[in-house]
A and B are shown apart, each in its own frame.
Chain A
């Protein structure tokens, strides 16, 4: 059963702590993406990776970091430098260049207090 898994579904952290969100796909997709969703603001791109060992900043990369050591995995670390980390985080993947569809995971809701 192919798809994208994100874990956990809900995550709670104290301010000042780094936290890593997991994203795994078994679709054999080359490209992976991280989006942040806030109420009334749609989705904003944080980072994306079009191939293993390479990634680019999206529109709101400050306070976040990523790695892409394996094709299947694209973890996102929310660092203590991110001023407003509480949000719904969505991971997506696509087959790569010229593919039309991005497939989304179920999301992780992060709450930082």
Chain B
């Protein structure tokens, strides 16, 4: 079945550091890929998405590129802020069929001033 594997946390960085959170996936066909963010005590918000190979999703300084050859969708940000502290989830959606999202286990990021 489809699955998503993302790097285990927690990740702790200083403000203005470079962030990478690795995400790889296993899927039949060509899924759409997503990064969601969850701030403490809240639901999830879509951060960015990519729907086909080589697409780059970007939002709020975060980027991720859909790499079909390595089945990866790593999240990056050049300079993190304290306000980026949250849990980040990588997810995929099967193309066609049901609308189910398959999530990774989440990576908790803490950014210190």
- Which residues does A use to contact B, with CB under 8 Å? 4, 6, 31, 33, 40-45, 48, 50, 56, 58, 90, 92, 94, 96-97, 99-107
Contacts and interface: CB of A to CB of B under 8 A. Distances in A.
B104 A42 contact: yes
Contacts of B98: 48, 50, 56
Nearest to A3: B43
Contacts of A102: 46, 99, 101
B42 to A, nearest CB: 6
B104 A97 contact: no
Given A100-B51, A106-B41, 16 more contacts: A31-B99, A33-B100, A42-B89, A42-B105, A42-B106, A43-B44, A45-B100, A45-B101, A50-B99, A100-B32, A100-B93, A102-B99, A103-B46, A104-B44, A104-B45, A107-B43
Contacts of B104: 42
23 contacts: A4-B43, A33-B101, A40-B106, A41-B105, A43-B44, A43-B101, A44-B103, A45-B101, A48-B98, A48-B99, A48-B100, A50-B98, A50-B99, A94-B99, A96-B99, A100-B34, A100-B93, A102-B99, A103-B46, A104-B36, A107-B41, A107-B42, A107-B43
